[in-house]
Amino acid sequence: MFGCDYCEDDFSDNKDRLEHELSEHEDEMSGHEKSEKKGSLNRLTQEKEVEKQKRRKKLKYGSIATLSIVLLAGTAFTVAENLEALSPEPNASVGVGSPVHWHADYEITVCGDERVPTGGPKLAHTHGEKEFHLEGVRRSREEATLDWVLDNLGANFSNSSIYGESSCNGQPANLTVIANGETIENPEDYIIRDGDSIDIDLE
């Protein structure tokens, strides 16, 4: 507690005491006392103002930090959700969602002529030999199909044509796809697997 120098009043704050003395007992003070008390009051007022500004800054930066954390957490959650949505559902049996390094032999014959596609993307390419090289992580089941692989090798494949051709010598031709000794009814949708042997014949 801070007691008034001129009366019996007590104050919990020294600033309040000085304000009281300068307001109620100014006539009882000497010039020196008045000047000294005013100087002390000014210092205390400035100190309190500095403390207020510090508290405001702490509150401001604390709010900004909290908001930043909330925004970052929300962004991270959204990114995680998007990544999860973009990630393929793992299916090892067709090489989707997990790395593969598979090879499958093939023979392509178009109206009696053998065709050997070359190049292609990493997921499905050849080196100029009669073997598909399937490497990397397929993002969807579609990327594991014979249709996707041949289209990316420039063979323009469908259930009834290859290299854009569906006839031989001006006559309608039949496209036959045999995988591992079995005729494939819907070759566009056939999933190529490691070790396959695939014969494609348009005649």
Q: pLDDT for 151-164, tens place per residue?
A: 999 999 999 999 98
Poorest-pLDDT segment among 27-41, 125-139, 184-198:
27-41
Are the C-beta atoms of residues 37 and 18 closer than 8 Å to each other?
yes
Q: pLDDT for 112-169, tens place per residue?
A: 999 999 899 988 999 989 999 999 888 888 998 999 999 999 999 999 999 989 999 9
What is the C-alpha separation between 184 and 145, in angstroms, rounded?
12
CA angle (45 as vertex; 20, 32 as ends), nearest 5? 60
The token pair at 29 is 């003070």
What is the C-alpha separation between 108 and 146, in angstroms, rounded?
12
What is the C-alpha separation between 173 and 176, in angstroms, rounded?
10
What percent of the chain stands above pLDDT 70?
85
**How far out from the chain centre does Cα 57 lie?**
34
Residue 77, pLDDT > 60, answer no
Residue 84, pLDDT > 60, answer no
At 22 the pLDDT is 78
What percent of the chain stands above pLDDT 90?
41
Which residues does residue 126 pair with via DSSP β-bridges, in sequence order?
119
Supply the Cα-derived Rg of the chain in whole angstroms.
43
At 86 the pLDDT is 43
Give the alpha-carbon dihedral of 10, 14, 19, 24, to 10 degrees. 30
Residue 45, pLDDT > 90, answer no
> What one-character-per-residue DSSP string does the chain give?
-EE-SSSS-EESSHHHHHHHHHHHSGGGS-HHHHHHHHHHHHHHHHHHHHHHHHHHHHHHHHHHHHHHHHHHHHHHHHHHHHHHHHSPPPBGGGTBSS-EEEEEEEEEEETTEEE---B--TTSBBSSSSEEEEEE-BSSGGGGBHHHHHHHTT----SS-BTTB-EETTEE--EEEEETTEE-SSGGGPBP-TT-EEEEEE-
Residue 85, pLDDT > 90, answer no
Judging by DSSP bridges, how do beta strands 175-179 and 182-183 pair with one another?
antiparallel
Give the domain 92-202 fold.
Ferric Hydroxamate Uptake Protein; Chain A, domain 1 (2.170.130)
